[in-house]
Amino acid sequence: MKTQLAGRKMFFAGQWINRDRVIEVRDPQDNHIIDTVPAASVEDMLNCIGEAKEGAKIAASMPVHERMAVISKAADYIEANKEIYARTISREGSKTIREATSEVTRCIQTLRISAEEARRIHGETIAFDQVPGTENRVGYYYQVPIGIIGAITPFNDPLNLVAHKVGPAIASGNAIIVKPATVTPLSALLLAEAFVEAGLPSKVLSVITGYGSEIGDPLVTHPAIRMISFTGGLEAGEEITRKAGLKKISMELGSNSPVIVLEDADLHEAIGSTVSGAFSAAGQNCLGVQRVYIQEHIMDSFKEGFVERTKQYCVGDKQSEQTDMGPLINEKEAIRVENLVQEAIEKGAVLLEGGKRDGAFYTPTVLTNVPEDCTIANEEIFGPVVLLYPVVDLEEAIQKSNDVRYGLQAGIFTNDVRKAHKAIERMDVGGIMINDSSDYRIDAMPFGGMKKSGLGREGVKFTIQEMTEPKVVCYKLSDG
Ligand code: NAP
């Protein structure tokens, strides 16, 4: 297999560099090596942070029109090379070529919104004369960059979730060091290439490839890093939060999203939307549908329609336009999902469809009667498995939806505006979709979770807010 190794370099403060120690990047479909990237050392990361200090000064001094131009040019470059970007996502990750292409489209959007938002980083005037004795002052606050951002990203959207950190960081005048997921580093390196082609000054952006267990700590704990922007699982998120010290923290974590289907809903629409919400990206999606609460009168017809639709899902070669679902990110993950389903079946769950594994592939799986003490009834599956539950009414559906430690997004299907509104008010989530599944997002909306699903919000404008801080200016005028 050696002949297939391209030996890609990492992007260190404006330079493409190699290291003797490498990480093999494999296609999960057949496990063959598609490329290698350097395995950065602790020293590499510390040196990179040193360079980023200079990068932060350069970034902050870039006028807004230059930031806008660079980000727009990077978006143009990705648009011109869309196919290469899509193929890279779909080879190193588990997305099908159709899913990968739509991720590239979203990445371009994310960057274009970032370029636009750069001109809208506003402050406000301050009424200093509200306090007796300080009438002779005028002033304002404005938002300034915080310095160096440490960005840590997951495997499941290896391009767009990196763009969600890099675009806003550059728009707001910060330097940024990205540590992409070890299994999917190539898309992040391609994003860096777009910024090089766009003329971004060196040292503003670095993409350092390496193991989180090795180079995570120096990035997370370094006092020069002013913010850690993390997207990934709860366990890593909590560990990073404990270690980070005095810096801003943004946590985009996991969930086990609920969808409620009431008896007045359009059943056809609800089935189509929840099936695709459950199985897109092979269920490895932070806002994927995991738990569906169906009003009991329509449970049988929903179940029948859901299973029928699931059976039509085409699982197979990621590179084929006909394929609906590819493999999980690796065989270990597929075995983890298989074991969770097995545990539920042993405890009494009924398997309606799926439940078969072949290497990293796991068929779209539908379960009912899942007992409350099963791991998958409470924790994030992060695989193509959905649980269907009958409920008496909306009240029970809301109570059960909320009865987990996560709260990222939810969906409800109903044509009754009062019921929809009750769900909006009562569900503990960062976003609720009416007549859509939890799996809906645009890149400009505030995105993030309540409870253990995270802290802070992404969505370009909101990320920029997190990546800047107010500076107050007050002019004391003459006493007269
Ligand atoms: P993960 O295992 O938590 O890894 C995410 C990133 O963190 C990787 O780059 C990983 O590096 C790094 N990392 C792990 N432990 C670390 C540590 N102690 N210190 C510093 N860095 C560390 O998550 P994943 O399996 O890639 O992604 C799946 C998870 O992400 C799911 O829970 C999903 O719900 C969540 N997610 C959330 C959102 C959202 O916006 N809310 C979006 C997408 C995904 P290595 O790869 O080297 O281990």
Domain ranges of the chain: 3-253+454-472, 258-444
Write down the CATH number for the domain with range 258-444.
3.40.309.10
Q: How many CB atoms lie within 10 A of CB 394?
A: 21
> pLDDT tens, 321-350?
999 999 999 999 999 999 999 999 999 999
Average pLDDT over residues 128-139: 95
Does the pTM exceed 0.75? yes
Active-site residue identified among 286, 333, 338, 374: 286
Cβ of 212 below 6 Å from ligand 1: yes
Q: Can you give the pLDDT at residue 480?
A: 52
Q: Are 357 and 327 in contact (CB under 8 A)?
A: no
Record the tokens describing residue 105, joined without a space: 């489209």
Q: Is the pLDDT of residue 419 over 60?
A: yes
Q: Can you give the pLDDT at residue 478?
A: 76
Cα 176 to Cα 166: distance, rounded to the nearest angstrom: 7
Report CA(180)–ligand 1 centroid distance (Å): 9
Cβ of 244 below 6 Å from ligand 1: no
Cα 404 to Cα 377: distance, rounded to the nearest angstrom: 9
Q: Can you give the pLDDT at residue 132?
A: 95
Q: Is the pLDDT of residue 95 over 50?
A: yes
Q: Which residues, at least 6 apart from 258, have a Cβ–Cβ distance to it below 8 Å?
A: 289, 290, 291, 292, 293, 397, 400, 401, 410, 411, 427, 438
Annotated active-site residue 252? The verdict is: yes
- Could you give the strand order of the β-sheet that contains 431-434, starting from the edge strand earlier in sequence? 350-353, 365-368, 385-391, 289-295, 257-261, 409-413, 431-434
Pick the atom of ligand 1 nearest to 449's CA.
41
Q: Is the pLDDT of residue 3 over 60?
A: no
Q: Can you give the pLDDT at residue 2?
A: 40
Pick the atom of ligand 1 nearest to 237's CA.
3
Q: Can you give the pLDDT at residue 7?
A: 83
pLDDT band at 1 (very low <50, low <70, confident <90, very high): very low
Report CA(129)–ligand 1 centroid distance (Å): 48
Q: Can you give the pLDDT at residue 303?
A: 98
Active-site residue identified among 117, 252, 353, 458: 252
> pLDDT tens, 342-394?
999 999 999 999 999 999 999 999 999 999 999 999 999 999 999 999 999 99
Q: Is the pLDDT of residue 275 over 80?
A: yes
Q: Considering only CA atoms, which of 249, 246, 252 is closest in space to residue 222?
A: 246
Q: Is the pLDDT of residue 4 over 60?
A: no
User: What does each C-alpha distance from 460 to 91, 152, 161, 201 come to in angstroms?
Assistant: 27, 17, 11, 22
Indicate the DSSP class of residue 351. E
Q: What percent of the chain has pLDDT over 70?
A: 98
> pLDDT tens, 46-82?
999 999 999 999 999 999 999 999 999 999 999 999 9
> pLDDT tens, 441-464?
999 999 999 999 999 999 999 999
Q: Taking all residues of the chain, what is their mean pLDDT, rounded to a whole number?
A: 97
Fold for domain 3-253+454-472?
A: Aldehyde Dehydrogenase; Chain A, domain 1 (3.40.605)
Q: Can you give the pLDDT at residue 32?
A: 95
Q: Which residues, at least 6 apart from 396, have a Cβ–Cβ distance to it below 8 Å?
A: 293
Pick the atom of ligand 1 nearest to 453's CA.
41
Record the tokens describing residue 264, joined without a space: 């007045």
Average pLDDT over residues 270-294: 98
Cα 174 to Cα 169: distance, rounded to the nearest angstrom: 5
Report CA(237)–ligand 1 centroid distance (Å): 8
Best mutation site among 106, 179, 376, 445 for ligand 1, i.e. most ligand atoms within 8 A of its Cβ?
179
- Half-sphere CA count of 388, side-chain side, radius 13 A: 26
> pLDDT tens, 106-117?
999 999 999 999
Report CA(93)–ligand 1 centroid distance (Å): 14
Record the tokens describing residue 96, joined without a space: 């099908």
Cα 204 to Cα 453: distance, rounded to the nearest angstrom: 30
Q: Are strands 357-358 and 385-391 parallel, antiparallel or unpaired?
A: unpaired
Q: Where are the alpha helices (DSSP H) in 118-210?
A: 160-171, 186-197
Q: Can you give the pLDDT at residue 5?
A: 54
Fold match, 3-253+454-472 / 258-444: no
